[in-house]
Structure 1
């Protein structure tokens, strides 16, 4: 389908879309909607579906959120309620139903690609909302995307990074580096996890204000061993079914950070509350330390979000060039 600016179609085409036969084709739309906030540019469509801890590969399973998807008996390493984002105290009728999901042993669940795959799996993944971004097919690898721009980091400096939520699956995340010259595998990224530079985080709220909060970090029971992961500080709805959206949201899974307003928790950018749709969930801002001894050169920054509510791992990658302090031009 070709879209033109003018009605007579005489101007140059504005954009072209590939239409998927016999299935849903996702198109960009304007205004406030589910795909805003944490899905700008369809960034939320690069992930891995059906990934349980202790498994050799992701299964793509979209119907089972409770059992280990490969039958592994691997025990979770995150059991302290302070680090849990769903069913903290085990009071749900299903028991400890998140025990095999990625956040329960951060970094150990397999992925389909270290930078995610389009739509979350190698075939139709519409069930959990896994649509490839326009122009891509299910299973296209994020690690093979072309470079769109590069950010310069100075070795030994502190840098600011951020991410946003479209659908809130709890869990936690980590930032890592891999040399651009190396294969962009999970093994490569795990060799260089980046340290958080502060115990504080910033939440950028939908009304344009910012809120400084105490972050929750965990380094025990993580992979790589001893590496630090940050817990997602934005609680999901406490009374919605796993994997559901647009349901009544009367309470959070855990107390929101002090000072937060009503937009600081929920299942998605458009969770219904009291008959009204809410604003976009907060953007989560962190500061990272760039290792002082890091060799100058081109790297790929990898962000990995291990979910607790679902057997999914979200990923995003970007290009950075590391320079020495004395090489920076003033």
Structure 2
């Protein structure tokens, strides 16, 4: 069983400040959705409102088209896995996992049987009698996930579940999360501030800033065509530039010639991906700009070049390791940067 979630003008106000500001979005059933954004953008508050742990100030929350806005967490059909896992230190893994069923009045025999099934599902059956303090961070996460799943929710809510793990274990656990979500066919809504994590996991990503939704779409669509300078900057790998100064000549290339002439004088900005910029021309139609190299950084498969344009704007690009000449490209040297005209992604600010 899985459920769709829809937020309709959903708002949360603290002390007359809108932490979540009238957002509208739908998460399809059976999908893996990531709420993505910097600290303080409202993503965790949004998750807690879906769970019922935060009251909605205005608007509605629908689960399978049923309005659950005023229902308690237990009445909603959702289960939440907290950032710190919130395991009971005095209970072993079996009792931690079966706790939700105990509260619901399920007999000990039945709840232990189901808890053992959940422990097997997350590969923790052999640790049933251990206490949380005897487990690693990854093992505690598996127990917390099993506890969330045992009540058979329609939607599983995860609040930065990988943030406490080391980088190697984080990669391993996100693979396990995705595999488990696909195996069970459940709807997962996962809060993270990591673009890499969201893009690895999500079918649908929701990018938030200052309580508002900046963009919704597949990770690939968002990366290929960010809607705003904020999205382009936040997801990384993009240069956000203004078509002024040394780039002023771009105005007649990146603005629709059929649009209003006033747009030519507007504060036009655009993004271009760092991996689309090279130090060698590929076509006589390439955009060409002169830049000074500020620094170079070896990144194993490529070098990261940080440069500054003649008008002072910063720009970065990736250069393949095999084609990088440290004698020609080094700090203080000038060079030309090239990128295809069709790779420009424009904004209206």
TM-score normalised per structure 1:
0.23
Higher helix share: 2
Higher relative contact order (CA 8 A, sep 6+): 1
Flag the structure with larger Rg. Answer: 2
Q: Which has the higher strand share?
A: 2
